[in-house]
Amino acid sequence: MYACGPTVYNYAHIGNLRAYIFEDLLKRTLLYNNYKVNHIMNITDVGHLTDDGDEGEDKVAKSAELMGKTAKEIAKFYTAAFQKDLKNLNILPPNKFPKATDNIKEQIALIKKLETKGFTYKTSDGVYFDTSKLKDYGKLAQLAKQELKAGARVEMGQKKNITDFALWKFSPKDKKRQMEWKSPWGLGFPGWHIECSAMSVKYLGQPFDIHCGGIDHISVHHTNEIAQSEAASGKPLANFWLHGEFVLMGEDKMAKSAGNFITLNTLKEHRISPLAYRYLLLQTHYRKQLSFSWDALQAAQNGLNHLYNIVKSWDKAGVGCAEYEQKFLDAINNDLDLPGAMAIMWDLIKNPMYPGSSKRRTLLKFDKVLGLGLSKIKRGKISVPAEIQTLIAERDGARFSKNWHKSDELRKKIEAAGYTVEDTPEGTKITSISSS
């Protein structure tokens, strides 16, 4: 499985991270079904330009210049930040994180192969892939009913066709680039698409099974990966393609370039844990867009707290609930129906026929896919902070004076803070507590 990784010039935003959580859910589902998964995720540390049409600046080099650092320092810093995000989101690490700059030789070799087969031409600023030479160029986008947007916003320049794209870009004559390499065509650097074609085949062979990424990759990046790889070898690049939908900010896609993005750190400042974000994503199918809202995130945090509370109140894992395990398996194997799987989980939690010990066993199993960290939630006594104690006391008072409306409101407040209230003959019992 090959997943297009981050361009390491800034922090990943939660839209980017949705793509990696979707891939993690796919990988965990395959592992749950006893497949072995070899998961490769590249790190783009050169060649991704600010414009998809092969114009503009290198994103990493530009960020380095702005921050007064070297491109290497920038790439190292944001790669580490990205890997920390993956860990916080409980995303299983890929088997390898190959870097574009460590695979220049392989990229040059692939371009040479394309040149030998007559798929390339040279302009004054680089070596280009001639898309008119490939009869089924753009077939992925056609299948997905997407328009080919490559190059649509830029001047044709010396390109022969609007969809042609750079394989190798020449260093500018008047300016030394931080990242440049010698090649048979001159000093320069690789185009963004060629790195994925070179690294996927190096680590996985061709064709490999699954290629994934965000939905925006269909019309340009993946279309061009397919063109290069298939032109070079005459074989399909991958057997299956899966793409995750966007996180939207209002009407628009969350994007670094639009400046409307939110990172995991911003979530933490709002007391939303990374796993609450994961919980939120589990409730929307990967092929559906998700509109960002703080209310939805808060509801996810409350839901996760509530889940932890309940798990904490259960006995040690006993015999599982086979009936629910089958339903869960059917849901995840139905095109990753995680929202369905979550509903099945809550259905089991609420089912009085099964003891807590059975529910714990089964939820631990589910969590191999969900990745919500349930195995860390042990049965235990809970400590209740002063502000919650005050709410409980107020609610006891409301109940005493038979003010059921107020008592209900207070219960909701207590639950939103992650505590579960139970009224027993011995008095109010707080059964469990949040954990994040």
Out of 19, 40, 141, 196, name the contact with Zn ion by CB under 5 A: 196
3-state secondary structure the chain: CEECCCECCCCCCHHHHHHHHHHHHHHHHHHHCCCCCCCEECEECCCCECCCCCCCCEHHHHHHHHHCCCHHHHHHHHHHHHHHHHHHCCCCCCCECCEHHHCHHHHHHHHHHHHHCCCEEECCCEEEECHHHCCCCCHHHHHCCCCCCCCCCCCCCCCCCCCCEEEEEECCCCCCCCCCECCCCCCEEECHHHHHHHHHHHHHCCCEEEEEEEHHHHHHHHHHHHHHHHHHHCCCCEEEEEEECCEEECCEECCCCCCCCCCHHHHHHCCCCHHHHHHHHHCCCCCCCEECCHHHHHHHHHHHHHHHHHHHCCCCCCCCCHHHHHHHHHHHCCCCCHHHHHHHHHHHHHCCCCCHHHHHHHHHHHHHHHCCCHHHCCCCCCCCCHHHHHHHHHHHHHHHCCCHHHHHHHHHHHHHCCCCEEEECCEEEECCCCCC
What values do phi and psi take at 50, rounded to 5?
-65, -10
Phi then psi for 77, rounded to 5 degrees? -60, -50
Judged by CB under 6 A, the residue of 1, 4, 166, 370 near ligand AMP is 4
246 binds, among ligand AMP, Zn ion, none (CB under 5 to 8 A by kind): ligand AMP
Sole binder of Zn ion in the list 4, 276, 280, 290 (CB under 5 A) = 4
Q: Which of 119, 137, 246, 279 binds ligand AMP (CB under 6 A)?
A: 246
- 227 is a contact residue toward Zn ion (CB under 5 A): no
* CB closer to ligand AMP, 141 vs 254: 254
* Number of residues binding to Zn ion, judged by CB under 5 A: 2
CB 204 within 8 A of CB 53: no
Residue 98, contacted partner among Zn ion, ligand AMP, none, CB below 5-8 A by kind: none
Instruction: Output the smallest distance, CB 4 to ligand AMP, in A.
Output: 5
Question: Is residue 253 a contact partner of residue 214, using CB atoms and an 8 Å limit?
Answer: no
Q: Does 432 bind ligand AMP (CB under 6 A)?
A: no
Binding mask 201-220 for ligand AMP (x = CB under 6 A): ------------xx-xx---
223 versus 313: smaller Cβ distance to Zn ion: 223
Interaction partner, residue 196 (Zn ion, ligand AMP, none; CB < 5-8 Å by kind): Zn ion
The item of ligand AMP, Zn ion, none sharing an interface with residue 214, based on CB under 5 to 8 Å by kind, is: ligand AMP
CA distances from 195 to 138, 275, 297 (A): 19, 32, 36
Binding partner selected for residue 6 from ligand AMP, Zn ion, none, CB under the kind-specific 5 to 8 Å limit:
ligand AMP
**Residue 255 contact, options ligand AMP, Zn ion, none, Cβ 5-8 Å cut-off depending on partner type:** ligand AMP
Nearest to Zn ion of 180, 225 (CB atom): 225
> CB-wise, 6 or 303, nearer to ligand AMP?
6
**Residue 247: contacted member of ligand AMP, Zn ion, none (CB under 5 to 8 Å, by partner type):** ligand AMP
Report the nearest approach of Zn ion to the CB of residue 163 (Å): 17
Cβ closer to Zn ion: 102 or 387? 102
- Minimum CB separation of residue 55 from ligand AMP in Å reads 17
The stretch among 4-12, 289-297, 366-374, 418-426 that binds Zn ion (CB under 5 A) is 4-12
Query: How many chain residues touch ligand AMP (CB under 6 A)?
Result: 16
254 counts as binding ligand AMP under rule CB under 6 A = yes
Rounded to an integer, what distance in angstroms lies between the CA atom of residue 12 and that of residue 43? 12
Which is closer to Zn ion, CB of 4 or CB of 60?
4
The correct pick among 1, 2, 11, 15 for binding ligand AMP (CB under 6 A) is 15
Q: How far is the CB of 337 from ligand AMP (least distance, A)?
A: 19
How far is it, in rounded angstroms, from Cα 113 to Cα 234? 12
The minimum distance between CB 389 and ligand AMP, in angstroms, equals 41
Which residues form the interface with ligand AMP (CB under 6 A)? 4, 6-7, 15-16, 18-19, 213-214, 216-217, 246-247, 253-255
Which residues form the interface with Zn ion (CB under 5 A)? 4, 196
